[in-house]
Amino acid sequence: MKDHDLFSHPEQNYASLSFYNKKQADLNKKIATEEISNTIENLIHQICNSLSEEQFSQAEDAIKKLNNIFNKTDDMPYYAEEFCYSYNLLFHLKDYITPDNSDFSANILTLVCTICYSASSCIEQILEGNFLEAFLQPMLGEGFSSECVSLSIRIAGCIAADSQESAEVIKQYDFLEKLSKWIDIGDQKLLDASLFYIEQFLVNSHDNNTTMMFSPIIASLLGRSDYIFANNSSDEMETIQSRLLNIVRRFTAFEEAVQMLCQTNLIDVTIDFLFNFKTSNDLSIEDQIVTLGNIVDYSCSEYKNCIAEKVSADYILEMVDKSDALCAQMLIIVQKLIESDENFGVHLFTPEFLGNLKEKSNSSNYYTKKSILSFICNSILRISLTSTLEIFLDEELIDEIAENSSPEAVAEGSNNFSQKYFIDALIKLQNLPCASQEIRDFISNVLDEI
């Protein structure tokens, strides 16, 4: 009877089972959390006691185990705040970073870096206790291994990223000259750490002064781009390239930064860097396009022409096909290049190129279609060479432009300005000497309907 009752209302049974499973899972997690907490607490005690008794091999073993636990748990920030802060662990570690024992120092710095990356309270503890320099010794002094220096750079980056106040503290040390030197050495760990340091400042700071502070370092990085590309087959190097690209994107967001690149003849290197980096990563491709846009916006016509020489029809179409956002960004850049030099548009627009744009427009959503048609109409208005304008005398294209400049299209989300230059483009085509009477009549008819 009881067995029968068990299955008479299965939905109740499933609900009960689900509730039981959740309670059991919560209990298991609590037990696991307690076990991890006890392990972490014991390891911290072991580290502190071993150091005080100068049993360095035992301390090193415990440091490695603690760092391993931190790297494997998603709750690392909680544990760092709960135990490392409570036991003032970093204070106990500060006196054991020396060039004489690089391996031990590197293990300590690795743990400190892990903690600083996740626990703001521990960073506050370092700053309030005035023992920051203990962890920056490899950057400030001499004789440390490149691994120790790279870890010290990362710790400085973590602290800079924590708050505006901590960033100001790190700025006071003025590591810029040393960073440039380490980048020039060509050591991959130092390069990677230097990128991390710059990223932490640029990601968390939006003021021009902080950005321009890094001008010499970014110049060094761009100057080392030949080295970066020399190992292009390495996945690790591709990651470094992507990160450098993102840094350059953030840097060139300021006109003053682009002007600096122009004045130091690094703009050519930057442009080469953008076009030489081949990637399938969508974020990196976006960084490339946005950086190109920044340079086009803020550089003189000479460098716009330099970009125009590298921007082929195939490259534009490749970006147009990537995504709606990249399509819009790419076409804005190309439009500015045409505005800077009409000849660029003359060489760019061929029947094949226009046909590909039309095909993309026909298969796109409303906003991408609008971007493409806006680009085409702007190009018609900018280009004066009749032989080039002749390829736009296409009934299907004219009909498409007219349809998207109608009052209905404006109501859907366009604006009166776009309607005006759509209509101006049609009128310009209608007045071309090479336009047949049939095309002129066709344009008259579609204009009458708008």
- Closest C-alpha to 54, from 89, 104, 99: 104
- Closest C-alpha to 360, from 368, 352, 350: 368
11 burial class (0-12, 13-18, 19+ CB within 10 angstroms)? exposed
- Closest C-alpha to 303, from 294, 314, 316, 312: 294
pLDDT tens track, the chain, 450 positions? 444 443 344 444 445 555 444 444 444 445 557 888 899 999 999 999 999 999 999 999 999 999 999 988 888 888 888 888 889 999 999 999 999 999 999 999 999 999 999 889 999 999 999 999 999 999 988 899 999 999 999 999 999 999 888 988 998 988 888 888 888 777 888 888 999 999 988 876 667 777 888 888 888 888 777 666 665 556 777 788 888 899 999 999 999 999 999 888 888 889 988 988 888 888 899 999 999 999 999 998 888 989 999 999 999 999 999 999 999 999 999 999 999 999 999 999 999 999 999 999 988 888 899 899 999 999 999 999 999 999 999 999 998 888 877 655 544 554 555 678 889 999 999 999 999 999 999 999 888 877
CA distances to 62, 90, 249, 360, 373 from 332, rounded to whole Å, are: 57, 51, 17, 16, 12
The span from the CA of 151 to the CA of 73, in Å, is 21
Instruction: Determine the number of helices (DSSP H) and then strands (DSSP E) in the chain.
Output: 30, 0
Q: What is the pTM of this model?
A: 0.79
The span from the CA of 171 to the CA of 132, in Å, is 13
